[in-house]
């Protein structure tokens, strides 16, 4: 039987701080919970790879003290406690009651962007919660969300250099470098939608987190901003189309759109979406029985998945890299020769 891959298996978007959560509080074993709190309060210790610092205009932020290669794990952390989508201030208080005074103090140091909209404890939770499960643009909604005392200090950027993903086997949220990161750089994640114009992104972040984004992408002006907005709008349209049966049954158009999207992603510095469009290229090449090109697309998809989502996501590609004919839709379209993503043809076409 052929391997039946779908686009959503190949791509998990940046998991924002807004998610669903569990009614029954769960708590770390005391020794580990204390360790988490100690890490937060001793973040500048010489043994730390990353540390919490004041960042001008942002409050606290996370700075790296060492070089990270893309795909490296920069942080893995267990939740202090979790909550479900039906949470209330009472359930948050109940979870806090199971924490030590030191953990409670660390919780109350976290930012609350909601002011008087919620009681203080619920406001802190709503501001800092991260998904503990699959949470993406394919309709997956994490059933739990947790508080992470260290990870709560990641600030937002519309060109994030870190991606967070829940690892159920480890019971941790894992943060991976999306590109090479040098010592002294701030580490950031995406709080909201990235494939949107600056005005759309700012509106969402203001509505959900009560701040005006001034990241590298949002600081653009004039023609540079216009080009960026146009690229992100096009990426949104292509991403939506390619997640629906890999953009139809026109392989020439589909593979060209995938290459154009990858070019736009490089220009917008959004590598977290690359695996989706490498999947599209693989799909079309395998469908028309261009298996040599399909194998190269699969190899690129595997590496993009490893960088953003870890080795377990990359392993899914192993059989298809070795033999693309194992794909369930291989040979379903008329035979033709397309091109691998590293073909000189794309350079000649301006990609």
Query: Residue 247: which pLDDT band, with cuts at 50, 70 and 90?
Result: low
pTM for the model stands at 0.86
State the DSSP code for 271.
G
Residue 71 has pLDDT above 70, yes or no: yes
b/e map 303-319, b = 16+ CB within 10 Å:
bbbbbbbbeebbebbee
Residue 28 has pLDDT above 50, yes or no: no
State the DSSP code for 8.
H
Q: Which two three-digit tokens encode residue 129? A: 């919660």
User: Who has greater pLDDT, 182 or 143?
Assistant: 182
Q: Which two three-digit tokens encode residue 265? A: 């992603």
Q: Is 260 helix (H, G, I), strand (E, B) or coil?
A: helix
Confidence at residue 335, expressed as pLDDT on a 0 to 100 scale: 96
Q: By the 8 A CB rule, do 283 and 329 touch?
A: yes
Instruction: Report the distance separating Cα 7 and Cα 29, nearest Å.
Output: 37
Instruction: Report the distance separating Cα 338 and Cα 295, nearest Å.
Output: 12
Residue 43 has pLDDT above 60, yes or no: no
Query: Residue 117: which pLDDT band, with cuts at 50, 70 and 90?
Result: very high
Confidence at residue 138, expressed as pLDDT on a 0 to 100 scale: 55
Structural domains of the chain, with CATH: 7-11+221-348 (no CATH), 30-191 (2.170.270.10)
């Amino acid at each position: 039987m052929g391997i039946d891959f779908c686009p959503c298996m190949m791509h998990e978007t940046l998991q924002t701080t807004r998610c669903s959560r569990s009614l029954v509080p769960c708590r770390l074993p005391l020794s580990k919970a204390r360790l988490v709190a100690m890490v937060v309060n001793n973040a500048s210790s010489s043994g730390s790879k990353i540390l919490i610092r004041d960042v001008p205009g942002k409050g606290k932020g996370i700075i790296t003290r060492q070089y990270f290669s893309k795909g490296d794990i920069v942080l893995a952390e267990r939740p202090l406690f979790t909550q479900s989508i039906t949470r209330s201030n009472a359930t948050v208080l109940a979870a806090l009651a199971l924490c030590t005074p030191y953990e409670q103090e660390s919780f109350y140091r976290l930012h609350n962007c909601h002011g008087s909209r919620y009681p203080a404890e619920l406001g802190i939770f709503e501001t800092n919660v991260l998904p503990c499960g699959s949470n993406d643009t394919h309709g997956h909604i994490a059933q739990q969300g947790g508080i992470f005392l260290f990870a709560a200090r990641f600030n937002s950027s519309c060109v994030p250099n870190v991606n967070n993903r829940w690892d159920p086997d480890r019971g941790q949220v894992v943060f991976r470098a999306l590109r090479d990161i040098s010592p002294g750089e701030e580490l950031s994640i995406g709080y909201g939608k990235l494939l949107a114009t600056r005005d759309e992104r700012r509106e969402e972040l203001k509505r959900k987190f009560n701040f005006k984004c001034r990241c590298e992408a949002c600081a653009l002006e004039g023609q540079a901003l216009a080009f960026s907005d146009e690229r992100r709008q096009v990426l949104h349209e292509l991403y939506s189309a390619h997640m629906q049966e890999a953009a139809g049954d026109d392989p020439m158009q589909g593979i060209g759109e995938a290459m154009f999207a990858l070019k736009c992603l490089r220009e917008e510095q959004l590598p977290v979406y690359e695996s989706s469009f490498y999947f599209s290229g693989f799909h079309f090449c395998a469908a028309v029985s261009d298996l040599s090109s399909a194998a190269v697309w699969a190899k690129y998809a595997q590496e993009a998945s490893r960088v953003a989502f870890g080795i377990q996501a990359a392993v899914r590609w192993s059989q298809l890299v070795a033999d693309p004919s194992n794909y369930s839709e291989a040979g379903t379209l008329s035979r033709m020769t397309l091109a691998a993503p590293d073909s000189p043809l794309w350079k000649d076409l301006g990609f």
